[in-house]
Structure 1
C-alpha cells in the first residue's frame, strides 16, 4: 500500500511586499531561507547560505534572470536547482514556493 504524501503550506509573506530583484530572508522551522521575486514575476527560495567553504549569506545576492550572484564570492547560482555554475562548484538547497491570491507559501 502506498502512503500519500501530505503537503504543508507555510505562509511566508505577501507577494506585493517582496521587492523585485532583491532577496528577503525568512526563517522557517529553524531554517534560514532567502526569497527572490525575479523579474518575470516568479518567486524562488534557496537556503540563505553561500556554498563557498568560507560561508556567508545570499540575502544580498545580485539577481540576473533565474540566477543569483553570491555577494562575497561572486559564485553564479541557479535559482531553479541551486547548483553553482561552472567553472565553480557547489550547491544550495532549494525550496518549493507557491503564490496563491497574493500570498507566498513555502511547501514542505
Structure 2
C-alpha cells in the first residue's frame, strides 16, 4: 500500500474536519473528540453536500445540507437514510497523517 502524507493530527480540530483534494476527488479527514481519525469521500450521495463541513459527533458526521448522518467507520448512512460513501485507509505515525491513495484509485476505477 502506498501511503501519502496529508498533514498532521494537529491540522484537524477536535470534532472537526479538513478537506484534502486528490487526483481521485475530495477526501474529508475527520477527528473525533477521542482523537480517532477517519477519512471518507467528501461528497454526500444524497445531494452532494461537503461532508467535511458537517458536524462531527461520536464516530459520525452530519451532512450540512440535509442532515443525513454517516458513520465515519463504515461510510454507511445511519437511521432511515440509505447510501454510503467510500472510506479511505488512514494511519497516524508520530502525529503525521497518511492516506492510502492507491486504494482510492482502485475503487474509482
- For residues 36 and 78 of structure 2, the distance between their equivalents in structure 1, rounded to whole angstroms, comes to 21
Q: Which blocks of at least 5 consecutive residues in structure 2 are unaligned? A: 103-109
Q: How many pairs are equivalent?
A: 101
Root-mean-square deviation over aligned CA pairs: 1.0
Compute the TM-score of the two structures, normalised by the length of structure 1.
0.88
Q: Aligned partners of 1:106 and 1:40: how far apart in 2? A: 20
Partner residue of 1:28 out of 22, 30, 33: 22
> Structure 1: which 5+ runs fail to align?
1-6
CA offsets per residue over residues 19-42 of structure 1, 9 Å max, x none? 111110001223200100111111
Equivalent position of 1:69 in the other structure = 62
When normalised by structure 2's length, the TM-score is: 0.87
SS at match of 2:10: helix
